[in-house]
């Protein structure tokens, strides 16, 4: 079996060749809710996401579509690897195997209750595929069969995938085809037959029970698809590749210290201490918005404040205290920093203390207890095992200073540090700054 190289844009999509047939992995799997109109639904989804090649899987429980684009090097007539295996191995299993003896390349496919799990139709390194298998196990999904290579040391049994990919075992339904507009007569006839079969199979209590399981499975499939989309967004914002576990690290989803300070400062520094008789009181930034409070003095008016601040922010001033006080609000959007290695707790505390002490600052660093939420159980199944405790510690950092935050953090040891809020108050004719952040460490 060989792997066909792909362009950088399509690195997720891989093509395997065996006995003159081409098998595609890395499809985007999406559940289809309509029995009689599932092809129309598939076309709408494909058009919205610029995906023009599809394979349709029909089971007694659900209809599912796997999408890919012709720009990924995929053509009509190739086979979906996941569909080919799912059609032969049943409705509940996970399989992983080595696809190249010369390179560190493994494949994984997983099916639960007849549905191919998004993110488990890919090729990657041994470490990546091992993590994906472990991730499914940690979520409490009870697969009926585990087909795993001995080097994983995770139990199960090896899979003879080459026997399952023999030409004599391949069916037309495993093939990929172009998405076209409109329904053919053959499709309409197939939909009518499928509608009668499905309608007759869901009766009484069994119908309700199966529906509940389907809703829960689709929720999990949608959640997995969202995880993949969130990872792609994180990679785009951080400007570098991110490991899958980055989605489980809270610091990876937050802006860096420098990004936070620069983004907040661009708005906070533009507020003058006096706007036509309105005196500055305080302002604060949490990374998503900047709020500034002003108080009316003398004969200044609300109309004058509105005219002076027109165009500075999208929101108009909000007045309170009988029109004597006002709040200005500006929204901001900051890119996330992505994942990074965490420093040791003692080393991180010593470094941040030493840095701020050198500026005559008096920081407070307090450890915060961490609670990992329990994953809910599937209907009719036992609760999954409790999640493992986090492999990191969290400390809340606070300090008050006369220095601008940019000055106090310039060249500071900020590995594992993320800021939560910057607040400034005008007191005794000078600005007082309060900085709050979270320090993540091992």
Q: Are 48 and 168 spatial neighbours (Cβ–Cβ below 8 Å)?
A: no
User: Residue 399: which residues within 8 A CB-CB, separation 6 or more?
Assistant: 356, 361, 362, 363, 364, 434, 435
* Eight-state DSSP code of residue 72: G
Cα-only R_g, the chain: 28
- Compute how many other C-beta atoms are within 10 angstroms of the C-beta atom of residue 404: 17
Cα 101 vs. chain centroid, distance in angstroms?
A: 32
Q: Among residues 106, 243, 223, 229, which one has the least CA distance to residue 161?
A: 106
User: Residue 138: which residues within 8 A CB-CB, separation 6 or more?
Assistant: 384, 385, 387, 388
For the record, the structure tokens of 119 come out as 């993110």
The number of CA neighbours under 13 Å toward the Cβ of 121 is 30
For the record, the structure tokens of 360 come out as 């005559």
For the record, the structure tokens of 373 come out as 């939420």
Q: Are 295 and 265 spatial neighbours (Cβ–Cβ below 8 Å)?
A: no
CA distance 75 to 167: 18
The string of DSSP codes covering 135-183 is HHHHTT---SEEE--GGG-SSSB---HHHHT-GGG--GGGB-EE--SS-
Q: Among residues 376, 380, 50, 60, which one has the least CA distance to residue 219?
A: 376
Q: What Cα–Cα distance (Å) separates residue 382 from each residue in 90, 217, 376, 377?
A: 22, 15, 10, 6
Give, for all 442 residues of the chain, the pLDDT tens digit. Answer: 655 544 434 468 999 999 999 999 999 999 988 777 788 889 999 998 899 999 999 888 889 999 999 998 999 999 999 999 999 999 999 999 999 888 999 999 999 988 999 989 999 999 999 999 998 888 878 899 999 999 998 889 999 998 999 999 999 999 999 987 444 455 545 655 655 665 566 566 666 666 667 776 777 777 778 777 877 888 888 888 888 788 889 999 999 999 999 999 999 988 899 999 999 999 999 999 999 999 999 999 999 999 999 888 878 999 999 999 999 999 999 999 999 999 999 999 999 999 999 988 899 999 999 887 777 766 666 777 777 788 899 999 999 999 999 888 988 999 999 999 999 999 888 999 999 999 999 9
Q: Are 71 and 46 spatial neighbours (Cβ–Cβ below 8 Å)?
A: no
In 3-state terms, the chain is what percent helix, strand and coil (to 5)?
35, 30, 35
């Amino acid at each position: 079996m060989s792997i066909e190289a792909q362009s950088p844009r399509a690195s997720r999509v891989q093509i395997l060749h065996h006995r003159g047939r081409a098998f595609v992995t890395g499809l985007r799997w999406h559940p289809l809710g309509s029995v009689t109109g599932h092809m129309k639904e598939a076309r709408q989804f494909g058009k919205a996401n610029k995906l023009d090649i599809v394979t349709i899987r029909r089971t007694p429980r659900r209809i599912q579509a796997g999408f890919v684009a012709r720009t990924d090097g995929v053509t009509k007539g190739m086979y979906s690897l996941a569909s080919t295996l799912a059609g032969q191995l049943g409705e509940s299993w996970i399989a992983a195997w080595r696809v190249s003896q010369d390179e560190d390349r493994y494949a994984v496919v997983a099916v639960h209750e007849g549905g191919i799990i998004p993110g488990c139709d890919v090729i990657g390194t041994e470490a990546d595929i091992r993590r994906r298998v472990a991730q499914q196990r940690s979520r409490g999904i009870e697969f009926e069969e585990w087909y795993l290579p001995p080097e994983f040391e995770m139990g199960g049994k090896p899979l003879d995938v080459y026997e399952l990919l023999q030409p004599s075992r391949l069916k037309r339904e495993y093939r990929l085809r172009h998405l076209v507009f409109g329904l053919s007569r053959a499709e309409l006839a197939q939909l009518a037959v499928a509608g009668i079969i499905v309608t007759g199979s869901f009766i009484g209590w069994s119908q309700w029970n199966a529906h509940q399981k389907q809703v829960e499975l689709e929720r999990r499939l949608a959640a997995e698809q969202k995880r993949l989309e969130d990872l792609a967004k994180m990679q785009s914002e951080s400007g570098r590749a991110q490991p899958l576990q980055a989605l489980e690290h809270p610091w990876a989803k937050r802006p860096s210290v420098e990004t936070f300070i620069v983004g907040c400062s661009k708005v906070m520094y533009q507020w003058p201490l006096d706007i036509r008789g309105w005196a500055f009181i305080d302002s604060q930034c949490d990374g998503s918005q900047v709020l500034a409070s002003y108080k009316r003095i003398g004969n200044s008016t609300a109309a004058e404040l509105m005219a002076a601040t027109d165009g500075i922010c999208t929101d108009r001033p909000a007045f309170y205290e009988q029109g004597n006080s006002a709040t200005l609000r500006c929204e901001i959007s900051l890119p996330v920093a992505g994942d990074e290695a965490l420093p040791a707790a003692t080393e991180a505390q010593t470094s941040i203390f030493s840095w701020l002490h050198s500026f005559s600052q008096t920081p407070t660093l307090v450890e915060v207890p961490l609670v990992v939420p329990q994953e809910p159980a599937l209907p009719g199944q036992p609760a999954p095992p409790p999640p493992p405790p986090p492999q990191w510690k969290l400390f809340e950092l606070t300090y008050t200073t006369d220095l601008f935050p940019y000055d106090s953090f310039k060249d500071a040891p900020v590995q594992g540090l993320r800021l939560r809020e910057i607040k400034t108050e005008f007191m005794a004719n000078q600005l007082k700054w309060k900085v709050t952040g979270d320090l993540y460490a091992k």
